Chain A
Amino acid sequence: MRVLIIEDEARLARNIAQVLKESANFAADVCTEGVDGLHLAKTNPYDLIVLDLTLPGMDGLDILGKLRGAGKTVAVLILTARDTSSDIITGFNTGGDDYLTKPFDMGELVARCKALVRRAYGQTHPEIKVGKLTIDTVARRVKFNNKEVRLTAMEYRTLEYLAMRVGQIVSKTDLLEHLYDFNWERFSNVMEVYISALRRKLDPDRKYDLIETVRGQGYLLKEN
Chain B
Amino acid sequence: MVVAIIAVLSVTAYVQFHETLKAGVDSTLLSQAEAVTVSMAADDSLLEARKEIQAFFGPINDTKSPVYRVWFESEQEDYVASDLQGNWPLDWDIRSTEAPAIGNHKFFEALRGEIPYRLLWTRDPDLRASSSTKQPLNIIIAAYDGHVDSQIGDFLHVLLIMGVVVIILSIGATLLILKWGMKPVAGITTKMNEITGKNMNQLSSYVTDAPSELRPFIRAWDEMIERLALAMQQQRRFTADASHELRTPLAIVKSTLQTARSRKRSSETYESAMDQSLEDLERLEHLIEQLLTLAHLDDIESQSDWQTIDLGNLTTDICEQYLPFAKQKNGILKWQVCPAKVTGNGEQLKRLLANLIDNAIKYGPKASEVFVSMHSSNGLVNVSVHDKGGRIPAEEQKLIFNRFYRIRKARKRASSSKGSGLGLALAQEIVQKHRGSITVQSNPKTGTDFVVTLPHI
Contacts and interface: CB of A to CB of B under 8 A. Distances in A.
Interface of A: 8-12, 15-16, 18-19, 22-23, 32-33, 54, 56, 81-84, 101-107
A32 B255 CA distance: 16
Interface string B167-186: 00000000000000000000
Interface stretch (B122-130, B241-249, B285-293): B241-249
Contact of A106 (B248, B259, B280): B259
Task: Output the residue of B252, B256, B412 with the most chain A CB within 10 A.
Answer: B252
Contact of A9 (B259, B262, B263, B415): B415
Nearest to A79: B251
A11 B254 contact: no
A9 B249 CA distance: 9
Contact of A102 (B250, B259, B411, B412): B250
B240 interface: yes
B101 interface: no
Given A82-B244, A102-B247, A107-B258, A12 B252 contact: yes
Task: Output the residue of B240, B251, B259, B280 with the most chain A CB within 10 A.
Answer: B251
Nearest to B408: A56
B301 to A, nearest CB: 31
B415 A81 contact: no
Contacts of A11: 252, 255-256, 276, 280, 414-416
Nearest to A82: B244
Contacts of A19: 255, 258-259, 262
Contacts of A10: 414-415
Contact of B252 (A9, A18, A54, A105): A9
Nearest to B409: A56
A49 B264 CA distance: 28
Nearest to A102: B251
A83 B248 CA distance: 12
A23 B255 CA distance: 14
B262 A103 contact: no
20 contacts: A9-B252, A9-B415, A11-B256, A11-B280, A11-B415, A12-B252, A15-B255, A15-B256, A16-B255, A19-B255, A22-B263, A33-B412, A56-B408, A81-B243, A81-B244, A81-B248, A81-B251, A82-B240, A83-B243, A103-B254
Contacts of B255: 11-12, 15-16, 19, 103-104, 106
Given A15-B255, A103-B255, 12 more contacts: A9-B251, A11-B414, A11-B415, A12-B415, A15-B252, A15-B259, A54-B244, A82-B240, A103-B250, A104-B251, A105-B254, A106-B254
A107 B280 CA distance: 21
A56 B414 CA distance: 12
Contact of B251 (A56, A82, A103, A107): A103
Nearest to A54: B244
List of 3 A-B pairs having minimum Cβ-Cβ separation, nearest first: A102-B251, A81-B247, A106-B258
Given A8-B411, A10-B414, A12-B255, A106 B276 contact: no
Contacts of B262: 19, 22-23, 106
Nearest to B410: A56
A10 B255 CA distance: 12
Contacts of A83: 243, 247
Contacts of A18: 259
Interface string B387-429: 0000000000000000000001001101110000000000000
B261 to A, nearest CB: 9
Interface in B28-59: none
Contacts of A22: 262-263
Contacts of B408: 56
A54 B255 CA distance: 18
A32 B252 CA distance: 14
B142 to A, nearest CB: 100
A15 B262 CA distance: 11
A105 B261 CA distance: 12
A104 B254 CA distance: 8
Contacts of B248: 9, 12, 81, 102
Interface string B190-210: 000000000000000000000
A10 B414 CA distance: 7
A45 to B, nearest CB: 26
A165 B16 CA distance: 117
Nearest to A55: B411
A82 B247 CA distance: 9
A105 B258 contact: yes
A33 B250 CA distance: 20
A107 B254 CA distance: 11
A187 B244 CA distance: 43
A84 B243 CA distance: 11
Contacts of A103: 247, 250-251, 254-255
Contacts of B252: 9, 11-12, 15
Nearest to B276: A11
A104 B251 CA distance: 6
A92 to B, nearest CB: 19
B116 to A, nearest CB: 91
Given A11-B252, A12-B251, A56 B240 contact: no
A8 B240 CA distance: 18
Contacts of B243: 81, 83
A87 to B, nearest CB: 9
Task: Output the residue of A12, A18, A82 with the most chain B CB within 10 A.
Answer: A12
Contacts of B247: 81, 83, 101-103
A12 B408 CA distance: 20
B291 to A, nearest CB: 15
B245 to A, nearest CB: 8
Contacts of B411: 8, 56
